[in-house]
Amino acid sequence: MKRLKMFVMPALCFLILIGGCSTSLDVPSNISSVVNKYYDGYLANDSSMIASVLSNDYASIGYPTKEDKRNNVQEINFVKMLHNWHTDLTIENKNVTSYPSNNRYKVYVTGVENFKHNETGKLIDLRFLDIWTVNKSGKIQSRERFQDIMDYWDDIDYGISKEKEVTFLVDMSNTKVQKGENDTPAVYFVSGGSTGPSGVKMVQGENNIWSGKAMLTPGIHAYKFRNGFYTDWGLEGWEDGEIFKENNCGFNQWGDREILVSVSDEQTIGPFCFNSCEKCD
């Protein structure tokens, strides 16, 4: 199952060429060591090791999808989540190239991640290119990832990875429910292109907890609850993503909530208090 024809190599060679004639000989040895230490911490699920190499303004971009962004705290939580769903993590065919760039350093890493998906027992190999930025102090400022995500779903067996029913719950005890552009007040949950901006209308239950269901494909999905009905992606009705980012439950530039849909069982998410990472008091 090893795929040695690395899709990232032509891009890597091109990027190195446009970087100029500088080589890894112009880069202190600790720069590559810092990046390798991240991978060691990642494979061992060692939060302290990962935290030791990330700068305070660290940003991860494009992993697992190009829209995803994480700060240093969210990065550590993300690694923990990956280890909850996978075991036997290794990296093969790793190639590391470093060079100076704009008073910092760029480190390009290609390789193949290997691991086992716990729910299905399937063995996965995932080709990747990581582009790291390391500052002069030897701390990682950013990581941008390019990967062939279908490697993942092909190995799990996409045939068993059909849409799963997910139930979303939100507690509106502390928030007045609004009409928006509709005739009656209601709450909606929105999960990107899966639901569109108006989302799925939820039903009010006991103790002012609203519930709604959607069929989602296995994998990571961003979502938010929206107070009132709106037909566009404007500003009205949304939960406050800045609050979520401050409290480490907002996972992209909009501070969306995030769920990992499994490949087997139905799931229930929440109840969260509207505009909060926690349950209502």
Summarised one tens digit per residue, pLDDT across range 140-183 is 999 998 877 666 666 665 555 567 889 999 999 999 999 999 99
CB atoms within 10 A of CB 125: 19
Confidence of residue 2 (pLDDT cuts 50, 70, 90): very low
Domain ranges across the chain: 9-159, 164-273
Cα(136)–Cα(105) distance, rounded to whole angstroms? Answer: 8
Closest CA to 224 of 204, 206, 248, 200: 200
Helix or strand (DSSP H, E) at 149: helix 149-156
Does domain 164-273 fall under CATH 2.60.40.10? My reply is yes
Confidence of residue 27 (pLDDT cuts 50, 70, 90): confident
- Between 3.40.1010.20, 3.50.50.60, 3.40.50.1260, 3.10.450.50, what CATH number should domain 9-159 receive? 3.10.450.50
Confidence of residue 68 (pLDDT cuts 50, 70, 90): confident
Q: Strand, coil or helix: what is 70? A: strand
Q: Which residue has the higher pLDDT, 163 or 102?
A: 102
The maximal CA–CA distance of the chain, rounded, in angstroms, is 68
